[in-house]
Structure 1
């Protein structure tokens, strides 16, 4: 088994508080027809609470020794598949099911954004509910409102793909080894409101541009990032319901959608 220093290098902090584990599993609203994907099961504190409640449980763990530990721990269970893999490289489409899956996990802090983006891209057609434990600061970004300090590009991406709710905070004392920061549990549901939006890649491009120059007015940010006339940009921005003096963090996802729809006639 890996030591604490090696586990911290991998971004792994094991949840050991059983009450927190119970609350996470309860929030999954499990039934015996569910297919559940668990990311980074560690020593199985969530796994052991899920396995008898669902039709199938698939766990993806990057550490080979932990995989061996889990296979030994659950060797009598027929409805679990333990996969030794980096979740970021794992092809979720390999999970063959007619039902949309549920996802759960205690996400490593170092690769939180990458994991979230991978999950978000599958939101419209592959999963029905996702419950993740993330760093508290990340959770605050996820649920932030426009003009708030924590409102960010991550907030807007989250708002496009999902509907979210911060369920509860988790003290760093609930983990071994103990991280330096606290965590929070967030519930995600697919945001079907934008499932037919045709300009997803342009939206992501625009968000990259405006948050690169987020201290500038949105009009000036777009002028720097797009090869368009500034007066034309101003007209498009205003017609999207955005004030000339607003910045990237002042605008909600709905107005960004309007902006991108209008820009799509001018930008590839």
Structure 2
């Protein structure tokens, strides 16, 4: 594919073909200087459009979505099931996971349309789908430190069926967790799948104060 692109568009000055593993590639290091050289817009002109290998989709989503300082929009072709799950952040469902909180922390996702497997070559065993993520700027992120926030979220979902007063005991005592839940208007028996992104943010900030 890279060879075909080079052969067809090699004379285009605003094209740069890089053959690297996206999961190991330092995007900011290579991309920002290129954009500064080729583009003179004051706004972020860069968008990501990609037909990803389905087996690395979640890893790439985690890599790209925090880059709201570089990209404005990320549009990906993913496995249909994955795209549906990432776009729908409904609580109290079996599909509700930390990745849903991650996606909505950094972006506004929108499921676009399904692509039948017959349209791929070679044909996969599953259908694909196009999903877009409108990336947020850092000032639009929830008022919380991402590192400690997602550490708490992942701990909570490690015991998804457990009540939060149990799964977060390594952070605070059960009574402190119950008090924090009560203060944000949630039952002390709440489980991680009961909480929205805003709920988790408020819970985190209450526990940090303990």
**What TM-score do the two structures reach when normalised by structure 1?**
0.69
Distance across 2 between alignment mates of 1:245 and 1:252: 15
Determine the structure 2 residue equivalent to 1:252.
Answer: 196
Residue 112 (1) aligns with residue 57 (2): yes
Please, which runs of 5 or more residues in structure 1 have no aligned partner? 1-65
Which of 71, 79, 82 aligns to 2:6? It is 71
SS in 1 for 2:17: strand
Aligned-CA RMSD value: 1.8
Distance across 1 between alignment mates of 2:133 and 2:190: 29
Which of 148, 156, 175 aligns to 1:210? It is 156
More strand by proportion, 1 or 2?
Answer: 1
**Which one is further off, 100-109 or 140-149?**
140-149
Determine the structure 1 residue equivalent to 2:39.
Answer: none
Distance across 1 between alignment mates of 2:160 and 2:144: 25
Task: Please report how far the alpha carbon of residue 186 of structure 1 lies from its aligned counterpart in structure 2 after TM superposition.
Answer: 0.8
Matches within 5 A, 1:175-214: 175-192=120-137, 194-195=140-141, 197-214=143-160
Contact residue 117 and residue 126 of structure 2 kept, 8 A: yes
**What TM-score do the two structures reach when normalised by structure 2?**
0.87
Determine the structure 1 residue equivalent to 2:91.
Answer: 146
Contact residue 105 and residue 141 of structure 2 kept, 8 A: no
Aligned length: 198
Which of 10, 27, 44 aligns to 1:92? It is 27
Determine the structure 2 residue equivalent to 1:160.
Answer: 105
SS in 1 for 2:59: helix
Task: Please report how far the alpha carbon of residue 102 of structure 1 lies from its aligned counterpart in structure 2 after TM superposition.
Answer: 0.8
Contact residue 133 and residue 183 of structure 1 kept, 8 A: yes
Contact residue 140 and residue 150 of structure 1 kept, 8 A: no
User: Which digits, 9 at most, give the CA deviation of each residue in 1:59-113, with x for residues without a partner?
Assistant: xxxxxxx322321122333321100111112222122235422111012111111
Determine the structure 2 residue equivalent to 1:7.
Answer: none
Task: Please report how far the alpha carbon of residue 196 of structure 1 lies from its aligned counterpart in structure 2 after TM superposition.
Answer: 6.5
SS in 2 for 1:81: coil
Determine the structure 2 residue equivalent to 1:173.
Answer: 118
Determine the structure 2 residue equivalent to 1:230.
Answer: 174
**Using a 3 Å threshold, how does the CA distance of structure 1 residues 161 and 78 change in structure 2: closer, same or farther?**
same
Task: Please report how far the alpha carbon of residue 143 of structure 1 lies from its aligned counterpart in structure 2 after TM superposition.
Answer: 1.8
